[in-house]
Amino acid sequence: MKNAELKSRKDAATPRGVGVMCDFYAERAENAELWDVEGRRFIDFAAGIAVCNTGHRHPKILAAIRDQLDHFTHTAYQIVPYASYVELAEKLNARAPGDHPKKTAFFTTGAEAVENAIKIARAATGRPGVIAFTGGFHGRTLMGMALTGKVAPYKIGFGPFPSDVFHAPFPNPLHGVTTADSLKAIEFLFKADIDPKRVAAIIFEPVQGEGGFYPAPAEFVRALRKLCNEHGILLIADEVQTGFARTGKLFAMNHYDVVPDLMTVAKSLAGGMPLSGVIGRAEIMDAAAPGGLGGTYAGNPLAVAAAHAVLDIIDEEKLCERATLLGDRVKAKLVSLQSEVPQIADVRGPGGMVAVEFCKAGGSEPDAEFTKRVQTLALERGLLLLVCGVYSNVVRFLFPLTIQETVFDEAMAILESVIKDSVAVAA
């Protein structure tokens, strides 16, 4: 079977709204490598969009799924419950930030977790309003799109969206937005658009994902917590992309001295199996009436089994520490290139959640063309990279944290070559 044949069939059978980045089709994968149907090898620095922090087909995850297959594949937890769901909730409750009693509910996708976090916040507060941030990404459902602070490609043609959702600018020093600017904008929302007594929650990503891998400044997170406390608003940390060792901590909120009221998790929670969750203060999580939360596939037993294995792997293989080690090496490589590559405007990110932002040489104007060239050349040479950011001028690095040293070194050599060659083309 050839890639061209599959593309023709894909174009005929599936809608164009499901955008596909690569023109090849996966046949198999192992740890940080994958091979297409024609046998070509790629180093995977996308990891299924931060889903495979533990790599493709980790033996312990495969063993956990196989064991669960021998017992049962589905009962619907709300109909016939099972111990593994409860045990996983207990583990996450114990590991999530804060010493207060917590509870966890499981769902299937990150967007579903976000939807349910908003439902829980509204049930707990009796309020409708939600504040999110520019550049934030919270999913492709109607509420997810309403919360997402990026129009193209996520919102075009899909409105109207749920009401009582408001946006404030997210701190972005490179593009002239300070923490003070963001907080002032929220205060202006309270004066112009919504009474703070009608706001149920403020939702933010500790490190923006699709928005460009911008970390939330510590003083900003503290100020959000203070603002929420002052007005009886719940603080929701969207950890869908940042969770499970990616930032050098199990959760990105572990980098802050602030505890959120609710957290959404998904992606690398189950190492490639579909599983998400909302973790929160016990009294808040109990606000929804029985039957108000759940879903047919929510907390699927195969995915739950995989998640138990993921938590063990993170501990046993010290993936939090490895995320920081590898991330530091990527950042050092990129910083070393800055003198030769004037398009490198910023290198940032905690742990292994690293990004490089490209702007026009010598300035701060985003350079999407240069960024696309880097991505295209990398793909031609067997390195899979993802682009993000409101201006599509950021390359993000989401390598599996289990990546082999030789493969990582190979990827760094490819990265250096494509960035330098992109400069030569631009000259």
Per-residue confidence (pLDDT) for residue 418, from 0 to 100: 98
The residue-averaged pLDDT of 136-162 equals 94
pLDDT of residue 77 exceeding 80: yes
| 25: confidence class by pLDDT, cuts 50, 70, 90 | very high
The letter for the amino acid at 329 is R
Give the rounded percent of residues in the chain with a pLDDT score beyond 70.
100
Q: What is the pLDDT of residues 393-423, one digit of tens each?
A: 999 999 999 999 999 999 999 999 999 999 9
Q: Which residue spans of the chain are classified as CATH 3.90.1150.10?
A: 3-57+318-426
Q: What is the CATH architecture assignment of 62-316?
A: 3-Layer(aba) Sandwich (3.40)
DSSP 58-113: -HHHHHHHHHHHTT-S---TTTS--HHHHHHHHHHHHHSSSSS-EEEEEESSHHHH
Query: Which residues lie across from 280 on neighbouring strands?
Result: 103, 262
| 346: confidence class by pLDDT, cuts 50, 70, 90 | very high
**Is the model more confident about 152 or about 5?**
5
Q: What is the pLDDT of residues 226-236, one digit of tens each?
A: 999 999 999 99
Alpha carbon of residue 395 to chain centroid: 14
Max Cα–Cα distance, the chain, nearest Å: 64
| 362: confidence class by pLDDT, cuts 50, 70, 90 | confident
The residue-averaged pLDDT of 161-187 equals 96
The bridge status of strand 129-133 relative to strand 165-168 is: parallel
Burial class from Cβ neighbours inside 10 Å (0-12, 13-18, 19+) for residue 159 reads exposed
pLDDT of residue 87 exceeding 90: yes
The CA distance from 350 to 264, in Å, is 19
Average pLDDT of the chain, as a whole number: 97
Give the rounded percent of residues in the chain with a pLDDT score beyond 90.
97
Q: Which residue spans of the chain are classified as CATH 3.40.640.10?
A: 62-316
Residue of 38, 58, 36, 56 whose CA lies nearest to 46: 56
Per-residue confidence (pLDDT) for residue 427, from 0 to 100: 66
pLDDT of residue 426 exceeding 90: no
Q: Which CATH class is domain 3-57+318-426?
A: alpha beta
Q: What is the pLDDT of residues 261-282, one digit of tens each?
A: 999 999 999 999 999 999 999 9
pTM check: above 0.75: yes
